[in-house]
Structure 1
Amino acid sequence: MDWSMVEAAQTGNISVLYELIQTDPYVLERIDHFPFLDTPLHIAACVGHVGFMMEMVNLKPSFARKLNQAGFSPMHLALQNNRTQAVVRLFKVDKGLVRVKGREGLTPLHHVVRTGNIDLLIKFLEVCPEAIEDVTVRDETVFHLAVRNDMFEAFQVLVGWVIRSRHEAAQRWEKELLSWADIEGSTVLHIAAIKNRPQAC
């Protein structure tokens, strides 16, 4: 990618973005051609330039779901860099971004569970409840990740949310997800017992 585009994304300079498009109308098309790449949207999401980021989403919506060479989407990168406003703006544009699977099959919902970000966890469940069904490449659910990473508050929120949810699949989720076995055959109860977490048990 052209260094001028990288600099425009890093500084959030929308004017430079359009100057580059005027010079080369296919500049974004060429970037989109690469299957894995840090797009200008990835860069802007990392540094939290929300205005530039939203301009990029308008021009090239496909960038929002594209993974970079490390296996991360723009929302993954915004989460990793604590750019909460960027995360919120992204899922307001497309709630399905909460379910984009990145490296090791981890979604943004998995990330907020692993880090214990309760505010974003609640927002993600509100905008995209179906994301609770997503599992990692090791068949771990959000419940596995919460217990495995000692995020008991996140675990409580998840269990409480499933029990109180009015979603048509809530009963199935409660039954299936809490007894789901990961690739090693461990359920959430197994992990809680091994880690000696009586609250989770």
Structure 2
Amino acid sequence: MEIVCSRMKESNPKVAREICDLLGEQYYVPLLRDDDLCLLPQVGNPWSPNFDSPTSPVTKDQLLMTYHSPVSPASPISPSFKVRGFAGPMSPTQAEVFHRLWKSNVTSSPTRHSKDRIASLRLTDQEKGLERVGRELAAERGITWKEYWDFLGEFTNLSTDDGLAKLESFLKEKYKQFMLERGALDASDLANRLGVEHKLHEDTNETNHEIQG
């Protein structure tokens, strides 16, 4: 790290620090939710996917798996947490700051006259409130954000081009499925109507034949 910016004519400590952060260990700050809604959602501690890091208790794959509540980790009916959103990657310093800001917004209690929009998001949207707080904070600080969407079955940011492309693909597939089902229903309805008309036509012919006979 000593060679960072060493060839610059004028040293810039800020630039050097930012480059070192990018080259150093990358951290994420997750949001954990209980699918059964037995426990309140939590902002997880900063973590690194670097398996060899002494400061990282879990890997990225392990983080995306289910976490059991520390109240009763061995119980099969114990409430469990799953990652439902995360911000990062970022430097350890950025992760600590982000974690503190997110936690403070989660634990703060905005008054009726509060002008802090972010702090009140969790109250106006109980299902995705904490995700919205994290999303807003990440956007303000230029940090990548992703959250889990059940209808897509994956993590993405719907405000990015990639996220919008996935949403568009999902909607196209749903529309295609809807049109196919509608076409099948229309065909079935048409067949039923033709069957009824054919039966009426046969009944009419039989009636006319009886009258003529």
TM-score, normalised via structure 2 length: 0.26
> Larger radius of gyration, structure 1 or 2?
2
With a CA cutoff of 8 Å and minimum separation of 6, indicate the structure with the bigger relative contact order. Answer: 2
More helix by share: 1
More strand by share: 2
